[in-house]
Amino acid sequence: MSTSLTNDQFRLLLGICRSAGSPKLYLAEKLMNEKISSNEIDELCELISNEFMMNGIQESYEPNAYGRELEKLLDAVNRGRLH
């Protein structure tokens, strides 16, 4: 699985993993080392989606700037499964 994140996306992912209820930093590390399972990618996607729902949308349910960054991050995390 090949995943290519920008430095900003990786920092964003690290922040999301750190703020998860239980430490999830190992998921970001496994993603970057391309040693991540499909189930672990699902777990990362769930963390990103939860962050989007909590902080990435406006009252109108449109994504704010942070939400658009989260959408790009989600696309990048999922990209490895599409190839």
d(CA 74, CA 22): 20
Paired strand residues for 20: none
Q: What is the pLDDT of residues 55-77, one digit of tens each?
A: 999 999 999 999 999 999 999 99
Q: What is the pLDDT of residues 11-35, one digit of tens each?
A: 999 999 999 867 788 999 899 888 8
Q: What is the pTM of this model?
A: 0.88
Tokens of 10: 């990786």
pLDDT score of 83 more than 80? no
d(CA 37, CA 30): 9
Query: Between the CA of residue 21 and those of 78, 80, 82, what are the distances in Å?
Result: 22, 26, 29
Paired strand residues for 63: 57
